[in-house]
Structure 1
């Protein structure tokens, strides 16, 4: 399988690394010699110096034999032209384009098979806004991932010293809360797919599988409020901040948006009806105090300055804000900022990487959610009639170490599995697996966990 990636920035780099780790034939194109050198030194892929809008370079990359082209540069125009050329040179290639300009996004027909023929459009701003809105609905969550159109949720929480789950073995948790299943634990910089003998520790980031209808019960078990965030400060009235504000504008919430740019504040005043607009510098502790940050359920820092976003969120936590969401663009900052007291850190580039990887799976694999920078995956799959996993109790299934079945969906019923649970043909399965055991799942599921 040949995959061509145009753009060796953070998005292209991480997609290339992921596919290379799975032994795919990857060609990466970029005009920047330094980026090409970085790729060549760190990833086992073919790196070409040149433009993704050059038919010659695309032919050199093997576009005629490619099954997938991902255009992930910082230029919408380059990405779209690359897809157009790819369509001309290989009509059957699947094309994914990263597009930021909303003017293009409004022209739905532009991406149709009759014109550019783009199969998937990735807009990082929309992805971030969608994720933030999900976090507002479930207070205390660090991440929310939907499966089965939201009927099953994968929700992560940071376990504090006084959490009811701190020190609890997973076998005890299943005994007292049969509808809760821990799918994965992030401990330090490592991700674990736990067994029943593992215990939850303070400062673990725990991923729980839960039915939508059981979310409030889960929050109560964790000692958290079941009330969605109602008092919210948004810092940054740029594109992302305004999209969040518009989505919240007609809800019965107490929302205010802060920006120090007068023109952005004027624009916000003109387009928002029920949201208070404040011109000021949110890095000023006195301003945050005046705006009752200490009584707020959530502060969302999404300015274009990531250092300011981190500082603003830290100030808000110091003043007593219940939760913070912080936009950080540099991937090199991610591990650092997650250890200094910030609740949820969102990276726009990783949002794009996740969306692309989710799309790439096929066959009976319905969706994939990469966890913790692709160290593990949450996989939604269909059980095949010929699979070794069906028609026998799960206790008798030789599940690879490093993988766990989180939930089964049968018709309209959602089952949190136990050892005596039997998977039936065509059940929908949600499975957690470390990256290194993905291949071991193939024979068990009798379905290739691979890409187009």
Structure 2
């Protein structure tokens, strides 16, 4: 079962408790970045699958046990990440780790009962991070619903800048436009950061020509994005109502957020007891007890006329079929939640609207923390990371806290690596889409987009 730690170790000593979807995703990403990983899980089969795939240690047992943590090397660990299915076990793992070892600790906590206590728990237990995948997924879904022309929306600079992904439709005015012409003729307030065309990812320069069918990621101040879509003939019809299929934790978080935004919410859930709970938790929502995959019920509940549909059942196949059905019978904005990574390429080929992967959202937040912790210099820290186009590109937000080799130099004079773009500068709340004469200053946060991986410090952008 167990394997030897990698020779010539670099990076951090990390213990991951829980080898489910999020644990597996974290193992893949952190192993790729060169960290020394020990996995703990009660299931020997789950451990075997991951230790066969990666050169990592595996220990069968209860991750909250003092004996098991010692065996896993807690005395020398830099970080404990607890992502089992039990919130209580995750919090206990981290509490034991903080008492026994001198390490940082991250817990996955999903239950709505704890969601209001996150700050208190984090402070009292001394945790580096508490992360809730369902709440993060609901957050991402609300961002996309506020900009329905987009396939995906990621936030930087505390929500003041957004990275937006969309597909150029047929006969759109962007077809055949060069990036520099687009900036001149349509909008200088957005910057095209990355383009996927026929499975290839490009970090475009000004001469790059856009074509219909391209999946384009651009960055803009939050207010500029809507205006840009209107100028290119892709208006954002506001979403007034949403139908959610499935009444789990993610549905609760999403329903609550949408109701707070003034959007009508209808949730279809098969379990009668859960329907009663939801009607108490979300009294303003319409809760329907029924099978959300029943075509007749969906017709009866007027799926043809809803502004948006979000399948949030626990079964990926059901979510995919519901999304395809909605695309067939309505003009609704469809957002599909997918938990597993199997058949990823097939899912990309289907017309599912926007696709959300909660485990990746969780993993990205943790990887951003790990890179910030690992950074050797104090002049900058990783604030946010988003993996783009199946991890073939990254958008990284750095907090530039002190002067360094990249500060006070016009961007045109910086000797940066190939396939890299300085996409956005946030200067005390003012979003700057940079040109060649702009400079990075101490105190800025800076977003870069690159096909390189593993950047920990802003100076990594230099050759």
Tell me if structure 2 keeps the 8 A contact 1:256–1:278: yes
Matches within 5 A, 1:436-451: 436=453, 438=455, 442-444=459-461
Tell me if structure 1 keeps the 8 A contact 2:416–2:462: no
1:29 alignment partner, one of 6, 17, 40: 40
> Shift of the alpha carbon at 1:86?
0.8
> Shift of the alpha carbon at 1:104?
4.0
Residue-by-residue CA offset, 1:150-188 (whole Å, 9 max, x unaligned): 111111112222333233322222232221111222345
Matches within 5 A, 1:353-392: 353-362=363-372, 363=378, 364-372=380-388, 373-383=390-400, 386-392=403-409
Matches within 5 A, 1:20-419: 20-90=31-101, 92-108=102-118, 111-112=121-122, 114=124, 116-176=125-185, 177-249=187-259, 251-362=261-372, 363=378, 364-372=380-388, 373-383=390-400, 386-419=403-436
> Shift of the alpha carbon at 1:440?
9.4
CA RMSD of aligned residues (A): 2.7
Residue-by-residue CA offset, 1:118-170 (whole Å, 9 max, x unaligned): 32111112111111111221112222211112111111112222333233322
> Shift of the alpha carbon at 1:301?
0.8
Tell me if structure 2 keeps the 8 A contact 1:250–1:274: no
Tell me if structure 1 keeps the 8 A contact 2:398–2:457: no
Tell me if structure 2 keeps the 8 A contact 1:233–1:296: yes
Q: Distance in 1 between matches of 2:119 and 2:409?
A: 49
Tell me if structure 2 keeps the 8 A contact 1:400–1:440: no
Tell me if structure 2 keeps the 8 A contact 1:8–1:36: yes
CA 1:20/1:272 → structure 2, altered by over 3 Å: closer, same or farther?
closer
* SS in structure 2 of the partner of residue 405 of structure 1: strand
Q: Distance in 2 between matches of 1:184 and 1:165?
A: 15
Q: Distance in 2 between matches of 1:443 and 1:262?
A: 54
Indicate the residue corresponding to 2:7 in structure 1.
none
Tell me if structure 1 keeps the 8 A contact 2:382–2:456: no
CA 1:428/1:118 → structure 2, altered by over 3 Å: closer, same or farther?
closer
Residue-by-residue CA offset, 1:414-447 (whole Å, 9 max, x unaligned): 211122333334332111122447379644579x
CA 1:198/1:41 → structure 2, altered by over 3 Å: closer, same or farther?
farther
Indicate the residue corresponding to 2:439 in structure 1.
422
Q: Distance in 1 between matches of 2:173 and 2:16?
A: 46
* SS in structure 1 of the partner of residue 140 of structure 2: helix
> What is the aligned length?
444
> Shift of the alpha carbon at 1:273?
4.1
Unaligned runs of 5+ in 1: 447-452
* SS in structure 1 of the partner of residue 48 of structure 2: helix
* SS in structure 1 of the partner of residue 455 of structure 2: helix
Q: Distance in 2 between matches of 1:22 and 1:117?
A: 26
- For normalisation by structure 2, the TM-score amounts to 0.86
Matches within 5 A, 1:12-23: 12-23=23-34
Residue-by-residue CA offset, 1:258-306 (whole Å, 9 max, x unaligned): 2333333444444444433334333333433343323322111112232
Tell me if structure 1 keeps the 8 A contact 2:417–2:462: no
Indicate the residue corresponding to 1:450 in structure 2.
none
Per mean C-alpha deviation after superposition, the further-off stretch among 400-409 and 73-82 is 73-82
CA 1:239/1:384 → structure 2, altered by over 3 Å: closer, same or farther?
closer
